[in-house]
Each structure stands twice: as C-alpha cells, then as structure tokens.
Amino acid sequence: MHVNLEQLRGFVAVARLGNFTRAASELHLAQPSLSRQIAALEQDLGAELFHRARTGATLTVAGESLLPLARRMLADAESVRRELAELAGLERGRVRLGATPTLCISLVAEVLSVFHTAHPAIELHLSEQGSRRLLDELAGGELDLALITTSDATAAERFSVVPLIDEELVVVSSAAAPPVVAGDRISLAELAALPQIVFSSSYDLRSATDGAFRAAGLSPEVVLEGAEMDAVLRFAERGLGVAIVPAMVLIDRPGLRSVRLRGETLTRTISLARPSDVAPTIAVGVMQRTIAATATAFAARAGDTMRLVGA
C-alpha cells in the first residue's frame, strides 16, 4: 500500500463535510484532484470508502472503519511535526498557562513578556482563574502548567507541584494620603479599625485574611467588598480605603505605600503545578524554566517580603 497523509486528510475532510466539492475548497484543492486522491486510496485499500450520490457522499462500512484510524494517524503526524519543529529551535508549539488573577498582573505579565521575546512563534494561551478552578482545568487536560497559591494537600497527590516563592501579605494605602500608622508595622487590631477594600469571596486571599481576623476575634470595617485585584489596587490608590495584598503586586506601583503586619505575618506560597503523568513538551519545559527564573528576579526585587522557597 502507498497510503499518504494527503490522502488521509482528504478522506477525513470528505467524511466530515459529506461533500467532495466543499472538502476540496477547504483543503485548497481542485475537486478533480481530491477525487483522484480518494480513488487512489480506495484502490490501495481494495475497498470503496464512500457511497457517492448527487446529494453528497456518505461513508461505507469500510469508510466507517477507516475514519477513527485515519484521525489518529493524522493526530500522531501533527504531534511529531510539532515536536520536530520545537527541536529545530522552538519555531512551533503551544503553551497553555493558568494563573490566579493576582499573579496575572504581576509575575505572569513579566513571564509572558520574557518568553514571547525569546520565542515569538510559540502560541500562548492564558487562563485566569482561582487556584481550585485552575487545578480542575489542569486535571481536565485544558492546561499544561498552572501557577497556584492554594495549600490544598490533595494538589500534591494529583499533580507535580513545585513551590517557588513564599510571599508576605502587606497592607497598602494611597501614597498621596498620610501614612495609616506611624512606623513600618501595623497590628491586626489597628488594621481592623481602618476602612478596608476586600476581595471577592472566590479569592484565596480573602479566606486567609478573614481567617486571621476571626482567629484574633476582630471584625474589620469593610468599606467595599467583592472587588477584583486590579480594582482593589486602583481604589486604594485613590484613597477609598486600605487593602491586604501580596507584596508582589506593589512592584512598579508608585501610587501605593505599604506597611507590614506586626506580630504573626500572613503569607502565601506560589507554586507551579503540572500533570504528573504527562511528559512536558520542549516549549512547556522552557516555560517552566522561564517562570522559575522570573520568580527569582521578583523575589530579589521585593526584598524581605518575598523569598524563594528553600532559600
């Protein structure tokens, strides 16, 4: 037999569209050329693949048997093509990255900028979700990598999870207004008396801060509830209230001043998760290294409010 990929692509297109003319148009072929390809395929296989009629083309029993095999062969060929292109210098490929909203406006923005500059031909997809939703997408095969902040113990059982940074949560206020406290530290009790902008209940940060106030027997004064990260920072810049945010988001935001919590600090761990049962492609491996290097740079810029895990 001399079956080739072009014949299989033509066969799958006709099977899907039920029409030789439309399939030829989709494949940018002349209709007679496509008909000759299919006829040659049928001759090599020794069986008719389509019932041909003026109203269209439908699969024969032999055609129905070939269709799933043809699709799998084409998918395997595409996978090999992409891997070879990546080996030739990351000229092709795709990386599907997920990250929490707080990371998308800080670490991820820098990661994608660095990666795209070095590998502009790689197709990038970004999912911005909470950590638990990102883990669901990772489990469903929708993502290659996910930057998460959850401490969910089951994540380590289901995925390969590498902690990157331990990050301190700080209190921010408008740089144009007077400092909210004398000195560089504020207690939870002092903080509870200030008007606060708090995140949506879907944020992992919201659970952490609510838990800290609850453990201290405090009820914070909330002036605005349910905002997303970018809105929280903008409202704080304009003096609407204070907010508890990750130290990382303060980089390049001169409109905000920050103060650290006195006593027991609040922290979060940023981790990189990927499926443990799937070997990463070359492009995904390069993205992993880019994320690790960028996290190191961010930790250095943020000083002692952020440190590399294990450092």
Token duo for residue 34 = 């496509």
Q: What are phi and psi of 223, to 5 degrees?
A: -100, -25
pLDDT at 296: 84
Higher pLDDT, 229 or 234: 234
Whole-prediction pTM value?
0.64
Distant-in-sequence, close-in-space partners of 168: CB < 8 Å, separation ≥ 6: 246, 247, 260, 265, 266, 267, 305, 306
Token duo for residue 39 = 């006829």
Handedness of CA 296, 298, 300, 306 (dihedral sign): negative
Band (119; pLDDT cuts 50, 70, 90): confident
DSSP strand pairing (185-186 vs 145-148): unpaired
Residues 202-215 have pLDDT tens digits of: 777 888 888 899 99
pLDDT at 247: 85
- The mean-pLDDT minimum among 49-53, 170-174, 252-256, 287-291 falls in 252-256
In this predicted structure, the answer to whether residue 157 has a pLDDT above a threshold of 90 is no
Contact 127, 98 (CB under 8 A): yes
| Percent residues over pLDDT 70 in the chain | 90
In this predicted structure, the answer to whether residue 227 has a pLDDT above a threshold of 70 is yes
Residues 56-99 have pLDDT tens digits of: 999 999 999 999 999 988 888 887 776 665 555 566 678 999 99
Band (152; pLDDT cuts 50, 70, 90): low
8 C-beta neighbours (distance < 10 Å), count: 20
pLDDT at 84: 63
Q: What are phi and psi of 265, to 5 degrees?
A: -80, 155
Residue 308 carries which side chain, given as an amino acid letter? L
Band (151; pLDDT cuts 50, 70, 90): low
In this predicted structure, the answer to whether residue 124 has a pLDDT above a threshold of 90 is yes
Residue 191 carries which side chain, given as an amino acid letter? L
Distant-in-sequence, close-in-space partners of 273: CB < 8 Å, separation ≥ 6: 134, 135, 138, 145, 146, 147, 148, 155, 159, 160, 161, 162
Distant-in-sequence, close-in-space partners of 302: CB < 8 Å, separation ≥ 6: 167, 247, 248, 250, 251
pLDDT at 142: 93
Domains and CATH numbers, the chain: 5-87 (1.10.10.10), 94-163+270-296 (3.40.190.10), 166-268 (3.40.190.290)
